[in-house]
Amino acid sequence: MTPGPAAPLPTGGSASPIVRALSIAGSDPSGGAGIQADLKSFAAQGAYGMAAIASLTAQNTRGVRVVHSPPADFLLAQLEAISDDIVVDTVKIGMLGNAENIAVVADWLERHRPEFVVLDPVMIATSGDRLLDADAERALQALLPLADVLTPNVDELAVLVDDSAAPDLEAAIEQGRRLAAAAGTRVLVKGGHLARLDEPDGAVVATDALVAPDGAVVLLPGPFIRTKNTHGTGCSLSSALAALRPQRDSWAQAAADAKVWLTGALAGSDLLRVGSGAGPVHHFHELWPAPRFSAEMWERISPIREAITTMPFIQALSDGSLPWPNFSFYLTQDALYLREYARSLARVAALAPDQDAQVFFAQASAGALEAELSLHRSLLADDRSSAPAPAVPPKRPCAATALASPVTAGYTDHLNRACAGGDYPEAVAAVLPCFWLYQHIGELLAGRVAQWGGTGAHPYAAWIDTYGDPAFAELTEQAIALTDRAAATASVLQRTAMAAAFERSSQYEWMFFAQGTDLPDWPV
């Protein structure tokens, strides 16, 4: 018997181990929002992404220029083509553009009901402009009950309950309860625009809330990330939620995990450097290797480095014209600073996760800094009556009796906070600029000593030689390598804290030198 043609294999069976997620939304050619953000979010959660485009936009990180909605029957053709061939596990609905598209989506949902549906009711632009006309807003109200979760922003939530925008999280949750009860579905109240200070620990928190139709509330706290890169945040959160729900036991767990992921995407957004306006979040912050931390930070502080090397204090130190009273003041403050810096290095050693780092920072605290303090004591003991100054005022108090300046106190307070918090990556980043910037300056100034005819001729040769010495450069390279090692295993939030600590320490280094020009009789 001759066998007949084989039956076609099913192409969209429900046994697929990969979540098949569909986005129905508008397109953003700049890649940060809409369909493009949704597909990236799906992929970041391990889901297979599909898209039916409801609207086309011409936009970038600075705003939307043109919106075009193709005929509604074309949107329907896209949806039918997908559902005729592929089982859709979960759906995210975003910008639909007009009442006709909304009606098409509502009809398709009723005929091809996926198990999970998230609706992001895109109604209001960041500028505050309404994106839907009155007919479309009425049609959208009828679509709400067909979703499992609604994810409006604060302004959209207010419109949906015919109220003014909530001034705080409590008011927003109350509006969420009203909407959830009216639509018979869950509402994710987003607190990014309602961030507030957490009084016990002084951190700024942005709490979301998942509200059920019966009024029950699950709070989803998280840190507030200070960044201008918020383009597509709502799209990305709602699509992550849709992709995660088939992989989690509840909407609450999916929402919590989506929020953690988005927090990391916001924290990592500066690495992308896309556009000159509100840039996109970093959808693949957990997948892409981060650039080497030290190289990234050295580039970031290039304006600070330029300001340090061109400031009057460093220029006069370089050519030997710096008045001794100014240098004496600097040395006194530096001796006070180094005592606290030694304590900070000891804390870094105690926090270090491996023996190499423990030994390095312990030795830096006990040995290298003691040598520097000895240099400061010998220089401060020098009367320098023939120093290059037009008029030498009375000698300043020695470091043992002097008071720390506001800059010195601010710098050491910053280091104490960074190193006392128990987070090694942040602590090691905070102490690095004192190594690196001093080595950088010493290397730049070393050539000036040679121009004077040798170490004995330049009035500040001993100080310059200390930081221009190859041994100090080797110590600096070790400190950089240990910081990069810490950054390589740090989370996105930890790297963000590291960057902030490094940049703040670098700013203090600039202020530390700059205060040396604030004395009387400064001739430059």
Angstrom distance (rounded) from CA 204 to CA 57? 35
- Cα–Cα distance for residue pair 256/234, rounded to 1 Å: 15
Nearest of 298, 244, 3 to residue 116 by alpha carbon: 244
| Catalytic residue selected from 26, 34, 232, 468 | 232
Residue 275's region, left for phi above 0, alpha for psi from -120 to 50, else beta, is left
Catalytic residue among 90, 94, 185, 190: 190
Distance CA 6, CA 478 (A): 67
Which residues, listed in sequence order, are joined to residue 277 by a DSSP beta bridge?
none
CA 291 to chain centre: 14
For 437, list phi and psi in degrees, rounded to 5: -70, -35
Q: Examine the residue annotation and report whether 310 is marked as an active-site residue of this protein.
A: no
Of 248, 279, 227, 225, residue with least CA distance to 491: 225
Active site residue 412: no
Sequence-ordered list of residues with C-beta below 8 angstroms from that of 7, at least 6 positions apart, any chain: none
Measured torsion, CA atoms of residues 113, 80, 69, 188, in degrees rounded to the nearest 10: 20
Is-catalytic flag, 233? yes
- 277, 501, 481, 462: which is closest to 376 by C-alpha? 462
Point out the catalytic residue in the list 222, 234, 268, 468: 234
Question: Is residue 190 among the annotated active site residues?
Answer: yes
Catalytic, out of 61, 90, 230, 332? 230
Q: Which residues of 260-284 are buried (b: 16+ CB within 10 A; e: fewer)?
A: ebbbbbbbbbbbbebbeebbbbbbe
How are beta strands 20-27 and 149-150 bridged, if at all?
Answer: unpaired
Rounded alpha-carbon distances, angstroms, from residue 520 to 180, 200, 379, 391? 68, 44, 21, 10
Q: Say which residue the tokens 């009789």 belong to.
A: 521
Q: Considering the candidates 90, 151, 233, 483, report the single residue annotated as catalytic.
A: 233
Report the SS3 class of residue 92. Answer: strand
Element spanning 55, H or E? strand 48-60
d(C-alpha 382, C-alpha 391), whole Å:
17
Q: Is 320 a catalytic residue?
A: no
Confirm whether 34 is a catalytic residue.
no
Helix H or strand E encompassing 150: strand 149-150
Whole-Å CA distances, 329 to 49, 144, 256, 353 = 64, 69, 53, 38
235, 263, 476, 516: the catalytic one is 235
CA dist., res. 199 & res. 366, Å (int): 38
Paired tokens of 240: 């992550």
The SS3 call for residue 425 is helix
- The number of helices, as runs of H, and strands, as runs of E, in the chain is 19, 11
Contact 187, 149 (CB under 8 A): yes
| Residue 421 in tokens | 């918090």
Q: Which residues are catalytic?
A: 190, 230, 232-235
